């Protein structure tokens, strides 16, 4: 049962780390991925143009364009940049500050 004075407190009265709900995190991830796609639009168009020209040989003829597009997307969209995006938006991290393992190891010290 939670403490009415502290709605975000744990059963034993300790404060929980603020975190996002999974559905909120999913919405933010989709918005962040859209921004990453927009940032890499030039490389995506280059790969698309090459793929149209190369037709069935796209795998062999467009390796450089594909690599450039994939590098851009992985640079723009990863966990580190998503955490920075959350901080910029003023949102708490999606994972608590402690893990279950941390709680158990603290109990036996």
46 is a domain residue: yes
Provide the pLDDT confidence category of residue 103 given band limits of 50, 70 and 90.
low
Distance CA 37, CA 23 (A): 21
80 is a domain residue: yes
Residues 52-85 have pLDDT tens digits of 999 999 999 999 999 999 999 999 998 888 888 8
18 is a domain residue: no
Provide the pLDDT confidence category of residue 21 given band limits of 50, 70 and 90.
confident
* Cβ proximity of 33 and 48 under 8 Å: no
| Containing structural domain, residue 76 | 41-87
Report DSSP state, residue 55: G
Number of separate domains in the chain: 1
How many CB atoms within 10 Å of residue 35? 13
Distance CA 49, CA 106 (A): 57
How many CB atoms within 10 Å of residue 95? 12
58 is a domain residue: yes
């Amino acid at each position: 049962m939670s403490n009415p004075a502290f709605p975000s407190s744990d059963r034993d009265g300790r404060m929980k780390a603020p975190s996002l709900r999974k559905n909120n995190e999913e919405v933010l991830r989709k918005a962040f991925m859209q921004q990453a796609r927009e940032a890499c639009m030039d490389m995506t168009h280059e790969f698309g143009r090459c793929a149209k020209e190369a037709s069935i040989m796209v795998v062999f003829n467009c390796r450089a364009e594909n690599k450039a597009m994939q590098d851009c997307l992985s640079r723009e969209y990863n966990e580190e940049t998503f955490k920075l995006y959350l901080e910029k938006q003023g949102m708490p991290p999606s994972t608590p500050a402690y893990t279950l393992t941390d709680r158990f190891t603290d109990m036996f010290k």
